[in-house]
């Protein structure tokens, strides 16, 4: 029972708290929060919103998995943001400039994206392992460099081409596309959403059924104990970071291979940071992350309806921020509470004196 | 490029050789930077490197970085890693614009500090009271700060400016110049004489069109140094960043000090945001205006080895690189690459004297590579120049991470026992 309470109660509380907070913000700014939330819920049934939510969930899911792998061993890969961007440009340029048979072409693009993401993540990983550079700072710097590199690579005198007001990489020929499931008027589900699901299953198997996953989690729980057990900390950092980067490289694949077929100036930004939030919300568990990704996608896409009822849709971003912050606080509070409860229980069982208040 | 100030590590006891005091090292570094720049400017024939206009722009662009870095310094000296600087800075830009267009620049500064401090308070509540991981809380505050300002600017600025991403124009500070001296330096600068004109250009850039904000920032740097290193309060604050358990055992209220430090950190980051809004080149608040400067501030602080003097050097370097490319573009920026080669040459000679063959060899290879870039490329693409600070930070971290010393308990969640 404690497990359910420890894992489900905090996010529920956090969401309620954030909704309440945003509700108050809406009331203060003169809007009716009930109409606003009602509009968001009813928006799901409108047009392509439901399908958009599914597609977006897949994208956030992949990003969050990439973050979660690092989190499992207390490695903060803040650089997912940069890794997926570099991977997207490199893969789009590669896909647009080679001719391969259908199927193999798409597969090759996906592979290139994963390798590009892993290589971009390898720089901070190597710096950390050989020079002891903190990965948070180095990945933040790599994010900046990724923006610059991407902007440079799509210049029309480098790899890009000018189309009206937009600059983009050469379009990937149809042999490299991944078909989706068309639902007529309500949109098309990206084929690669299933890649996200497969990655989730792979992640679960790796974490719970392989030696590597065990060593990863052990390093996260206690690096000294893991080292005593013969786990090489450096190797784990390197592998976890590369794996995280490779998965991060896949983040934009559903959109590029399923809809855009090119990297252009309208490329979505910030998915890496959303991925961090989603991974936190889901506590690095593949099921939890799926729920978090769904919530994020719902807030994103349904938020568009808010403009119709005269509410600024940016309230959704506030809500997302509030959810992350309150969920981590809630997890921490529950953890402390359970720790204290555990100590009391052990104390009773051992028959020692009743612990003094505040002993936790 | 020599603005790297190696401040003495007073906290490391005996075996260290007696080093020069920090201010002397700072002076030497500054003199070295001027010599390097004027040599580069002479050899490459690019006078803009030391023109007063470049320096003036550099100062303006260095301010936000410097203030954000100072914010980072306060928080990290008390043991709280503040990745949320960016978010606090964004809140500062909004606060500055909101108060600024109504009541003028001084109100803008105060409002920015208050808004930033609110962000800092949130970070303190999460990390100190609830023991949330510092990085996690920082990331959340960045998300929250961006969302909050977007919402507020649609709500409040949109009806006036008719653009949800922009505030109405904000009045700026009057700027001050050292009248006669500035004119005299201008004649010197225009004569284009080796070295003298360069020094004149740099000095003129520093004393012409100075905004009160610049003076305030300098006061903040010196004040932070005095408060953190020369008062009892500062000693206790830093002890919370080095060993909170020991500090607690000596009767220091660690939570209170951490709260004070992080709130102060947010306020400084907020003022950094105000420096962006009050920059004469900007009309006012603009969405996405901070553009990662909070992170650059953090980088400048690390570059400066968690010391105010070093931070000043880092901010100056990043601001200079930024100002140079903004004012004169990629061609001029290439001259900086040449300057870096010269700097590396000096370092190689130094390493050879100290008989550190491996370091010298690495320096030669790096210098060769950079010279290759300088020789083959006509112009650094403008897309890349903006990210020079990021690259410099990575290189500095890679080369000097063993010599940098962060507060011992930085980023460690402390819980009162």
**How close A229 gets to chain B, by Cα (Å)?**
25
Helices (H), chain A: 2-28, 33-43, 49-72, 80-97, 104-131, 135-153, 193-209, 211-221, 223-228, 233-249, 253-255, 271-281, 286-302, 315-350
Ranges of residues in chain A whose predicted pLDDT is under 70: 1-6, 352-360
B291 → chain A, closest CA residue? A144
Give the nearest partner residue to B387 out of A133, A138, A144, using CB atoms. A144
Burial class (CB in 10 A: 0-12, 13-18, 19+), A308: exposed
ipTM exceeding cut-off 0.90 for this assembly: no
From the list B155, B295, B384, the residue facing A29 with the nearest CB is B155
Cα–Cα dist B66/B296, whole Å: 9
Cβ of residue B142 closer than 8 Å to a chain A Cβ: yes
Closest CA in chain B for residue A29: B155
**pLDDT confidence of residue B18:** 59
Cβ of residue A334 closer than 8 Å to a chain B Cβ: no
**Where residue A221 sits, what CATH number does that domain have?**
1.10.3470
CA-CA distance, A243 to A250, in Å (whole number)?
11
Mutate to test the interface with B, among A24, A133, A220 (most CBs of B within 10 A): A133
Q: What is the pLDDT of residue B181?
A: 79
Predicted TM-score (pTM) of the model is 0.90
Whether A204 contacts chain B with CB within 8 A: no
Q: Note which residues in 58-87 of chain A have CB less than 8 A from chain B.
A: 76, 78
Cβ within 8 Å, pair A133-B387: no
Q: Round to whole Å and give the CA distance between B268 and A60.
A: 34
Give B8's pLDDT tier (boundaries 50, 70, 90): very low
The DSSP-derived string for A93-118 is HHHHH----TTHHHHHHHHHHHHHHH
Q: Which domain holds residue A70?
A: 32-310
Dig out the tokens for A229 from the structure.
């057990």
* B33-44 confidence digits (pLDDT tens): 888 888 888 888
pLDDT at residue B2 above 60? Answer: no
Domain B22-175+210-326 has CATH 1.10.3470: yes
Asked if A111 reaches chain B (Cβ–Cβ under 8 Å), the answer is no
B404 neighbors B238 (Cβ within 8 angstroms): no
Residue A337 lies in a domain: no
Backbone phi, psi, residue A264, to 5° = -135, -175
In this prediction, residue A198 carries a pLDDT of: 94
Report the pLDDT value the prediction gives residue B267, as an integer from 0 to 100: 97
Q: Is residue A329 part of a domain?
A: no
Q: Chain B contact for A132, CB < 8 A?
A: yes
pLDDT at position A271: 92
Q: Cβ of B394 under 8 Å from any chain A Cβ?
A: yes
Q: Which residues of A touch B386 (CB under 8 A)?
A: 148
Residue A284 in domain: yes
Query: Is A359 a domain residue?
Result: no
Q: Pick the range with the lowest mean pLDDT from B63-72, B131-140, B266-275, B333-342.
A: B333-342
Strands A166-168 and A181-182, by their bridges, are: unpaired
**What is residue A360's predicted lDDT score, i.e. its pLDDT?**
43
Number of domains in chain A: 1
Give the closest-approach CA distance of B407 to chain A in angstroms.
14
φ/ψ region of B251 (left if φ > 0, alpha if ψ in -120 to 50, else beta) reads left
* A8 HSE (CA, 13 A, CB side): 6
Note whether residue A319 is domain-resident.
Answer: no
The pLDDT value given to residue B39: 85
Q: CB-based contact (8 Å) between A276 and chain B?
A: yes
A185 touches B at CB < 8 Å: no
Q: Does A17 touch chain B (CB under 8 A)?
A: no
* Residue A250: closest CA among A83, A129, A96, A135: A83
**Exposure b/e, A248-258, CB count within 10 A at least 16 = b:** bbbbbbbbbbb
Q: Is the Cβ pair A141, B140 closer than 8 Å? A: no
Q: Tokens at residue A16, please?
A: 């309620």
B361 touches chain A (CB under 8 A): no
CA distance A39 to A312: 13
Regarding predicted confidence, which is higher, A309 or B264?
B264
Please report the pLDDT score of residue B163 as a whole number.
Answer: 84
Listing DSSP states for B118-141 in one string gives HHHHHHHIIIIIS---HHHHHHHH
Encoded tokens for B190: 């225009």
**Mean pLDDT: which of A9-13, B130-134, B188-192 is highest?**
B130-134
Q: Of A137, A324, A332, which has the smallest distance from its Cβ to B140's Cβ?
A: A324
Q: When comparing pLDDT for B381 and B194, which is higher?
A: B381
**C-beta atoms of A144 and B130 within 8 A:** no
Residues near B151 by beta carbon (within 8 Å), at least 6 away in sequence: A25, A312, A314, A315, A317, A318
Those of residues 152-191 in B touching chain A at CB distance below 8 A are: 154-155, 164
What's the pLDDT tens digit per position in B391-410?
888 888 888 777 788 899 88
Residue A13 in domain: no
B310-349 pLDDT, tens per residue? 899 999 988 888 888 777 777 777 888 888 888 888 888 8
The answer to whether B123 and B266 are in contact (CB under 8 A) is yes
Give A50→chain B minimum CA distance, Å.
24
> In Å, how far is A120's CA from the nearest CA of chain B?
13
In this predicted structure, the answer to whether residue B6 has a pLDDT above a threshold of 70 is no
Instruction: Provide the number of CB pairs (under 8 Å) joining chain A to chain B.
Output: 133
Q: Cβ separation of A321 and B141 shorter than 8 Å? A: yes
B347's enclosing H/E stretch is: helix B308-353
B311 in Cβ contact with B69 (< 8 Å): yes
Domain ranges of chain B: 22-175+210-326
Quick one: pLDDT at residue B1? Answer: 37
pLDDT for B235: 95
Give B156's contacts in chain A (Cβ within 8 Å).
none
Residue A158 tokens read as 């480098």
Q: What is the mean pLDDT of chain B?
A: 86
pLDDT at A36: 86
């Amino acid at each position: 029972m404690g497990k359910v309470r420890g894992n489900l109660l905090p996010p529920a509380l956090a969401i309620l708290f954030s909704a309440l907070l945003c509700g108050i913000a809406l009331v203060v700014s003169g809007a009716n929060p009930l109409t606003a939330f009602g509009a968001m819920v009813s928006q799901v049934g409108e047009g392509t919103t439901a399908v958009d939510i599914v597609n977006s969930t897949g994208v956030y899911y992949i990003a969050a998995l990439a973050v979660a792998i690092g989190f499992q061993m207390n490695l903060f890969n803040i650089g997912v943001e940069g890794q997926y961007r570099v991977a997207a440009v490199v893969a789009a340029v590669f896909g647009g400039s080679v001719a391969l048979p259908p199927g193999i072409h798409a597969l090759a693009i996906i592979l290139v994206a994963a390798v590009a993401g892993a290589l971009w993540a390898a720089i901070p990983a190597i710096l950390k392992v050989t020079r002891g550079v903190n990965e948070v700072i180095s990945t933040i710097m790599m994010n900046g460099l990724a923006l610059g590199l991407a902007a440079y690579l799509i210049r029309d005198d480098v790899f890009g081409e000018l189309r009206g007001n937009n600059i983009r990489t050469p379009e990937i020929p149809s042999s490299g596309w991944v078909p989706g499931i068309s639902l007529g008027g309500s949109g098309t589900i990206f084929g690669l959403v299933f890649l996200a699901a497969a990655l989730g299953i792979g992640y679960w198997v790796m974490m719970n059924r392989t030696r590597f996953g065990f060593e990863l989690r052990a390093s996260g729980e206690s690096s000294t104990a893991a080292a005593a057990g013969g786990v090489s900390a450096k190797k784990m950092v390197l592998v976890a970071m590369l794996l995280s980067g490779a998965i991060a490289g896949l983040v934009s694949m559903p959109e590029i291979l399923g809809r855009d077929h090119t990297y252009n100036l309208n490329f979505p930004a910030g998915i890496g940071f959303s991925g961090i939030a989603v991974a936190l919300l889901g506590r690095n568990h593949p099921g939890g992350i799926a729920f978090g990704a769904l919530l994020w996608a719902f807030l994103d896409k349904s938020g568009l309806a808010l403009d119709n009822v005269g509410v600024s849709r940016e309230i959704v971003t506030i809500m997302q921020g509030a959810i992350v912050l309150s969920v981590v606080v809630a997890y921490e509070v529950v953890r402390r509470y359970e720790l204290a409860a555990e100590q009391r229980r052990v104390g009773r069982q051992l028959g020692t004196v009743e612990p003094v208040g505040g002993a936790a | 490029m020599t603005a790297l100030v190696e401040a003495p590590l007073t906290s490391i006891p005996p075996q260290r050789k007696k080093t020069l005091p920090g201010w002397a090292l700072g002076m030497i570094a500054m003199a070295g930077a001027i010599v390097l720049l004027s040599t580069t400017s002479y050899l490459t024939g690019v006078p803009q490197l030391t023109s007063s206009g470049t320096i003036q722009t550099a100062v303006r662009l260095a301010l936000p970085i410097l203030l954000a870095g100072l914010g980072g310094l306060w928080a990290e000296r008390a043991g709280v890693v503040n990745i949320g600087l960016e978010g606090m800075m964004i809140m500062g830009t909004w606060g500055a614009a909101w108060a600024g267009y109504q009541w003028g620049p001084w109100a803008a500064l105060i409002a920015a500090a208050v808004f930033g401090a609110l962000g800092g308070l949130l970070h303190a509540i999460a990390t100190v009271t609830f023991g949330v991981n510092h990085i996690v809380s920082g990331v959340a505050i960045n998300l929250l700060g961006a969302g909050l300002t977007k919402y507020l600017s649609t709500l409040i600025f949109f009806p006036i400016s008719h653009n949800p991403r922009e505030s109405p124009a904000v009045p700026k500070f009057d700027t001050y110049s050292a009248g006669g001296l500035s004119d005299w330096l201008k004649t010197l600068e225009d004569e284009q004489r080796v070295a003298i004109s360069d020094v004149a250009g740099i000095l003129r850039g520093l004393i012409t069109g100075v905004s009160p904000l610049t003076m305030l920032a300098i006061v903040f740097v010196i004040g932070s140094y005095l408060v953190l290193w020369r008062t009892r309060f500062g000693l206790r604050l830093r002890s919370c960043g080095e060993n909170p358990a020991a500090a607690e055992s000596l009767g220091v209220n660690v939570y209170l000090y951490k709260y004070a430090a992080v709130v102060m950190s947010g306020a400084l980051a907020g003022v950094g945001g105000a420096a962006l809004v009050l920059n004469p080149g900007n009309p006012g608040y603009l969405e996405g205006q901070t553009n990662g400067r909070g992170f650059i501030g953090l980088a400048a602080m690390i570059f400066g080895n968690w010391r105010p003097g070093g931070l000043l050097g880092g901010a100056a370097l990043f601001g200079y690189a930024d100002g140079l490319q903004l004012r004169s573009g990629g061609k001029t920026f290439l001259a900086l690459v040449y300057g870096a080669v010269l700097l590396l040459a000096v370092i190689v000679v130094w390493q050879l004297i100290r008989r550190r063959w491996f370091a010298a060899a690495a320096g030669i290879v790096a210098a060769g590579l950079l010279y290759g870039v300088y020789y083959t490329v006509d112009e650094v693409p403008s897309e890349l120049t903006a990210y020079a600070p990021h690259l410099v930070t990575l290189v500095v971290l890679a080369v000097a991470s063993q010599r940098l010393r962060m507060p011992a308990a930085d980023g460690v969640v402390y819980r009162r026992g």
